[in-house]
Amino acid sequence: MNKVAQVDGVKVLNINELAKSLRMSYLPGDELDLELSQKGQDSHQAVGYLKDGTMVVVENAKRYIGQTKKIEIIRSLQTDAGKMMFAKLVG
């Protein structure tokens, strides 16, 4: 439908593109506080979620599940399911 509207000269706002552009973007080296809510796939990992739903896997943080910790983003990965980030504890 978007393409048909564009051909007819109608301005189109793609809601998915808008949502994507409004997401907070973190880069490697950025630090933030994150609530660790569950264990990760590996035995030493913990997982938390950003406000936009992005999953963040934190290394060596399993013992801090249920707590909010300062983390540093080390890398991100774009998957079909969305963006996933990896981080380490700060301090």
Give the span between the Cα atoms of 69 and 47, in whole angstroms: 11
pLDDT at 35: 99
83 domain-assigned: yes
4 domain-assigned: no
pLDDT at 2: 74
For 73, other C-beta atoms within 10 Å of its C-beta total: 19
Q: How many separate domains does the chain show?
A: 1
Q: What pTM value is reported for the model?
A: 0.74
Taking CA atoms, 23 is separated from 30, 50, 52, 54, in Å, by 15, 10, 6, 9
pLDDT at 23: 62
pLDDT at 87: 99
For 83, other C-beta atoms within 10 Å of its C-beta total: 18
47 domain-assigned: yes
Per-10-residue mean pLDDT of the chain, 91 residues long, equals 79 77 81 98 96 94 98 92 93 85
Tell me, what CATH number does 39's domain have? 2.40.50.140
Domain span at residue 81 reads: 26-89
Phi/psi region, residue 74 (left: phi>0; alpha: psi -120 to 50; beta: rest), is alpha
